[in-house]
Amino acid sequence: MRNITWYVHRLKAMRFGEILWRTQQKFLQRKEYKKYYTQNLPVTEIVINSATSALSPDYLRIGLEQSCTNTELFSSLDLFQGSFSYQQYKKSWNAGFQTENTWDENTFSYKINCAGRIDIGDIRTNWELNRHYQFSALAKSYYVSGEKSFLDELTDLFQDWNHHNLFLHGVEWTSAMEIAIRVNSWIFTYCFLCMAEKKHGVEYSITNLKNQLIHGVLVMTDYISAHLSRFSSANNHLIIELYAIAMSGILFNCKRWKETSLKQLTEELVRQNYKDGVNKEMSLHYQTFIMEAYGLLMLTMEKNEIKIPDIWYTYISKMSEFVADCCGDYGETIVFGDNDEGKILDLTGKHFNHYHYVLELMSCVLPQKYNKTVGFYENIRWMVSREQLCRTKKKSAYVSPDAKCYREGGYTLIKDQKRGIFIAIDHADLGYGTLAAHGHADALSFQLFFRGVPVFVDPGTYNYHVPQGFRDKFRSTQEHNTICIDRKNQSEICGPFLWGKRHQVMNTEFSIKENVFLLKSKIKYDDSFHTRTILIKDNETFEITIFDEIKLSYKPQIIEQVFMLGSMCTILNNRILCKDNFIDIESTAKRNCQKNEYSEVYNQLLPNTKLFYTVSDVREHTAKIKTSIKFKES
């Protein structure tokens, strides 16, 4: 029944043009089955047309800094902050990860269903290994050190991957965006090998590997061009795909790739982002994901004297402001919506703070700087000259205000006078386009950090597919710090990346007067209205009053005001203990607690307490809950 419902809503999300396009894609897939799949060849041996094969690469166009210093030699690839061992999985290209089962490497890619495969595992987890960050990191390490062991390991891994992942065989060819990230890794691998040849001398193994890489990049770029995400699927995926085509266009000086991709990237930047700097997917992670692509491309365009459209500076400056505003003074970051820890470039294999890295990247390409550090991240030191880093350090710094309301984007961010308390309130739409693929049912929820410690938390993502039910749980209304009516969602979940009926934001008001902040926002769903008023007084003590008014067209069984506590917080009667500090919390409704869990890192869970205040005797279809929160420092 769930599958039928999914198909019905998926068709509703499409217009006639999309249905026609998807039909054309099916015919294209049949042709590709005969032309490529039946050949049983790796991507490095696929025959390409004469126009494409005539293209000539020049690694200098990517413009890596050959004198980069303070680099790390590759030792291991971090897989979701230690969730899985790289040494255990380094050649397990088709591992399920969450189970001992594997994805079949011989099936035609278009015949594989990757979603919800609890019998195998979460496909996003598998794709991390197959984005080939380790390839570029190994090539870099060989260039820096001259140690042949790095080149030998790279060659061994490269040949093994191509042996087990023939073109259009298996799950590694099911997503054009994943291929695009792989293209980026292969381009950087090629550039480092070219630099290594110049530094350490020519070896047959390097020349052969370079030729295979370049051939693969040409085939994959052509393939991406024919399979761009479109219509309802044209979200961050399309931007990453276009980025890869643009980078290939610059590497090969291919006019058609450059012109087509840059034109569409300009269109998508405006289409997928609000003017105030908030990405319409309602996910800070996916915002910085696409910002990284634009930032890396802008650096490469500058080196090749390709004009960067003025509108890129306008939009990306605003987007950088929003990301900077979401970062607190203690290293914390407020993140709503999905977060699968995706990135474009990784030249070390080690985990790094993607939000701060992207802000540092933006500091190098925009008139202002948005991060305290400049040149801290190795990726950037390879892409930016010492002279440009010095100029970046001298730029004026953007300073986040104590409070800012993004009315169009739908978020309000407030820091107290001491900048120790950081609260963010969500009054945004569900997500982008007809799918809203990465949004959560979290309208009017909030998050709060105290001196960098999470007090009231977002449930996170955990992962996209395994175990069954977790995807829906972590996106659900009852797992967010908002009102939940009869344990139903504000918006209708129809699939892992698909929503049906959505909540509507009716209006939002925000004001500041003498250290008093007032936010009032109203939403509608299922003929019910929820108005949340948040009053914040920042005087001798920091006080938050949350007043929820719910008006319904029916008599509900139960209304819950949810507070998801961070893992370092415990509840003691009407107090929350946060390290050595007490936070008083009192409500007009009945208090309840239960053990729960949330996710700060993809594939990892943390235990926590779910505090919720309930009203079960609702009269005249109206309910009101008032809760006060007071901070007392030790």
Rounded CA separation 113/370 (Å): 41
Tell me: do 445 and 478 sit in the same domain: yes
pLDDT for 418-472, tens place per residue? Answer: 999 999 999 999 999 999 999 999 999 999 999 999 999 999 999 999 999 999 9
Tell me: do 395 and 425 sit in the same domain: no
Tell me: do 434 and 536 sit in the same domain: yes
Tell me: do 462 and 605 sit in the same domain: yes
User: What confidence tier does 633 reach under pLDDT thresholds 50, 70, 90?
Assistant: low
Q: Which residues pair with 531 in a beta bridge?
A: 522, 549
pLDDT for 529-560, tens place per residue? Answer: 999 999 999 998 999 999 999 999 888 889 99
Please report whether residue 165 resides in a domain.
yes
Please report whether residue 571 resides in a domain.
yes
CA 48-52-53 angle, to 5 degrees, is 65
Tell me: do 474 and 540 sit in the same domain: yes
Tell me: do 514 and 615 sit in the same domain: yes
Please report whether residue 5 resides in a domain.
no
Tell me: do 94 and 233 sit in the same domain: yes
Tell me: do 195 and 330 sit in the same domain: no
Tell me: do 525 and 425 sit in the same domain: yes
What pLDDT score does 9 carry? 65
Does position 5 have pLDDT exceeding 80, yes or no? no
Please report whether residue 74 resides in a domain.
yes
What pLDDT score does 620 carry? 80
Residue 6 is inside which H or E element, if any? Answer: helix 2-12
Tell me: do 145 and 238 sit in the same domain: yes
Q: C-alpha distances in angstroms, 116 versus 113, 314, 469, 480?
A: 8, 39, 9, 23
Please report whether residue 9 resides in a domain.
no
Please report whether residue 421 resides in a domain.
yes
Find the largest Cα–Cα distance for the chain: 83
Rounded CA separation 153/156 (Å): 5
Does position 634 have pLDDT exceeding 80, yes or no? no
Rounded CA separation 314/291 (Å): 13
Q: What are phi and psi of 512, to 5 degrees?
A: -130, 130
pLDDT for 431-443, tens place per residue? Answer: 999 999 999 999 9
CATH number at residue 495: 2.70.98.70
Query: How many domains does one find in the chain?
Result: 3
In sequence order, the 6+-apart residues with CB closer than 8 A to the CB of 354 are: 285, 288, 289, 292, 341, 343
0.75 cut: is pTM over it?
Answer: yes
Tell me: do 299 and 194 sit in the same domain: no
Range of the domain at 383: 273-399
Q: Tell me: cis bond preceding 459? Omega within 30 of 0 counts.
A: no
pLDDT for 207-234, tens place per residue? Answer: 999 999 999 999 999 999 999 999 888 8
Tell me: do 564 and 468 sit in the same domain: yes
Burial class of residue 305 (count of CB atoms within 10 Å of its CB; 0-12, 13-18, 19+): exposed
What pLDDT score does 207 carry? 94
Helix ranges, 90-175 (H): 123-129, 133-145, 148-164
One-letter amino acid at 281 equals E
User: What confidence tier does 7 reach under pLDDT thresholds 50, 70, 90?
Assistant: low
